Amino acid sequence: MDFTGFRKSGKDSRNLFSEVFFVLAACILLNVSVYVLNGLLGFTLPNINFLIHIMLFLSSVISLSIFLISFSSYPQVKNYQILIVSLTFFVVGLLDGFHVLSIPGMIFGFQEWENKTLMIWVITRLLNAAGFSYALAGDEKPMKAVKRRYLILYSILMVILTLCFAAFNPLKIVVFKETSGFTALGVVLAVTIAIFYIYDANRAMKLFNKTGGPIYKMMAGTFVLMFFNVVSMLGIRRFYDAQNLLSQVYQLISYGMMFNVFFVHGIKGPYILLSQTKAELNSYLTEMDKLVDKRTNELRSINEKLMADQEIARGMQMSMLPASLPGNEYVTFSSGYIPAENLSGDFYNVFKIDKDRFGICIGDVSGHGVSAAMLSIFTFQKIQAIMEEADGEDMTIPSIVLKNIYESFNYANFNDDMYIVMLYGVFNTQTGIFSYASGGLNTTPLRIRPDGSIQELENDGFAICKLGELINPKFVNRQILLFPGDKLILYTDGLTDARNSAHEKYTTERLKKTILRHYKWGLDHLTEAILEDVENYTDQKVSDDITMVTVDILPPF
């Protein structure tokens, strides 16, 4: 037979309940010492009755304190076992108080006052032991709302009935006789109380094993003391003797330990839990701060890299824009743009095809930022490639230029939701004819005559998008004869769609009014005046790129 597991289990139990076993051993030693000193050697203490009543008084105070702590904490813990125990201590505290006052002749008179007093003691201990047994019998459960004031009234009524029963003793019950000690009935009742306390101690140890809560270990030691309180009381022969004093010592110590249990559970425990929760929260917040700092540094590093890449892309895009615009004695050009972001989605260019013809393009691509910049760079490169083919002859026919860009765009690996809207035109300085084709630019080119009249040019066209497999659009060439003194304004929709704080658009009509105020003052002035008016209108908060190219046909003298 293997005893190894049995020995290990016993050793573990001794370690877990070493305090309880210590209390048990101390109680046995103390009981034997009192028996030897009092029973065999006849040693007695002076003023023993005074000491007994002082301890009863202190026990009553502690009982009522336990009641106040646990009863007042009920709204927070909502545990009916604790409520039952608190009411038990309320009843016990009041009865112990009357027990203090039950000195000969004070309440019960001189006749059989010892029996009546110990009858109160028996009832008190029974209520105490049974209350704990009931509370420990089941798991902690929340209780429905109860009117606690009614429970207080029931408890007070129980105290009154107990005192009346002990005072009048209608059943002529005798539990104690002076010089003889407890009667047979008294012994039976005391043994019953002791059995309750044994059950309570065993139950508390099981709960400690189950939950690991240190208060259950302390409660187990408390019940051991209460058990010896009953054992010591069984040994008394006279009301005021050493056994009674020892019994009161056990009771006072056990109540003190129980006060500590309820103080920890009802008052100190929540604060300890709050402190632990606060410490855990602080630790969690510290870890979160470290994690946030780490992620912030990572995001900052990524953002710095993106900003660097964006600056590179911006530099590439800016390098595509003309540093200065060409011109001759017949025509001058001006341009201006306001990007909504660091990387613009708009583009423009004016370049010389040959000595008499100038190419003009302006457009907008879908989106903003890096993707838009890359799409505008693609357009620039494609126009440059067409320019290099066949010595630029294809550049003189706008519809052919747009068709080539459309086909190249569809061959390229762009997303289906990306597109380009643009206008490409050619101005011939010898004939004064401006030929142009629209690739879906959704604005109306404006011609300003010398007398201030403004003509809106036709601009219908198909956008350059990823529909090459479905649609083969026909880009249309249009022509208009421009005379000396005429001006031509090309612009993207960011200008007319700009909104003010009331979300009202700038509109083409406002643009015309601005033109009429400034068209006589030179081309650069006109361009700057239009852009300044848009910025004032929007409080310098544009939501889309604004780009414009203006053309001035110069008079011959």
> What pLDDT is attached to residue 489?
97
More confident residue, 80 or 145: 80
* DSSP code per residue over 360-413: EEEEEESSSHHHHHHHHHHHHHHHHHHHHGGGGGGGG-HHHHHHHHHHHHHHS-
Would you say 349 and 424 are in contact if contact means Cβ atoms under 8 Å apart? no
pLDDT tens string 74-118: 776 667 777 788 888 888 888 888 767 655 444 444 445 667 778
Contacts for 391 with CB less than 8 Å, ≥ 6 apart: none
pLDDT digits (tens, 9 = 90+) for 399-413: 999 999 999 999 988
CB 401 within 8 A of CB 422: no
Q: Is 70 exceeded by the pLDDT of residue 2?
A: no
Between 32-46, 55-69, 211-225, the lowest mean confidence (pLDDT) is in 32-46
The winner for highest mean pLDDT among 65-79, 164-178, 305-319 is: 164-178
pLDDT tens-digit map of 196-247:
989 988 888 888 888 877 778 888 888 888 888 888 888 887 777 788 888 8
Least confident of 24-33, 59-68, 531-540: 24-33
Q: How far apart are alpha carbons 97 and 117 in whole angstroms?
A: 11
pLDDT at 49 over 70: yes
Domain ranges in the chain?
14-284, 322-553
267 φ/ψ angles, rounded to the nearest 5 degrees: -120, -60
pLDDT band for 4, please (50, 70, 90 cuts): very low
Q: Which residue has the higher pLDDT, 450 or 237?
A: 450
* Greatest mean pLDDT range, 7-21, 123-137, 507-521: 507-521
Query: Of the candidates 131, 124, 66, which has an alpha carbon nearest to the alpha carbon of residue 100?
Result: 124
546-553, strands of its sheet edge to edge: 331-338, 546-553, 487-491, 446-448, 454-456
CA distance linking residue 194 with residue 191, whole number of Å: 5
Q: Does domain 322-553 have CATH number 3.40.50.12500?
A: no
Local confidence band at 71 (pLDDT 50, 70, 90 cut-offs): confident
**What does the angle CA 395 – CA 398 – CA 401 come to, to the nearest 5 degrees?**
60
Most confident stretch, 12-26, 144-158, 182-196, 502-516 = 502-516
pLDDT of the residue at 9: 43
Residue given tokens 């034997």 in the structure block: 32
The mean predicted confidence, pLDDT, of the chain is 83
Indicate the SS3 state at residue 182.
Answer: strand
Q: How confident is the model at residue 132, as a pLDDT?
A: 84
Write down the pLDDT at residue 432.
95
pLDDT for position 38: 66
C-alpha–C-alpha distance, residues 63 and 269, integer Å: 20
The predicted structure's pLDDT at residue 510: 95
Instruction: Report the percent of the chain where pLDDT is more than 90.
Output: 28
Return the top range by mean pLDDT from 54-63, 223-232, 305-314, 514-523: 514-523
Pairing of strands 478-481, 487-491: unpaired
The confidence score (pLDDT) of residue 7 equals 42
More confident residue, 60 or 540: 60
Least trusted range by pLDDT, from 230-239, 304-313, 326-335, 443-452: 304-313
The H-or-E segment that residue 161 falls in is helix 148-168
Q: At 453, is the pLDDT very low, low, confident or very high (cuts 50, 70, 90)?
A: very high
pLDDT at 6: 33
pTM here is 0.53
| Res 482: pLDDT | 96
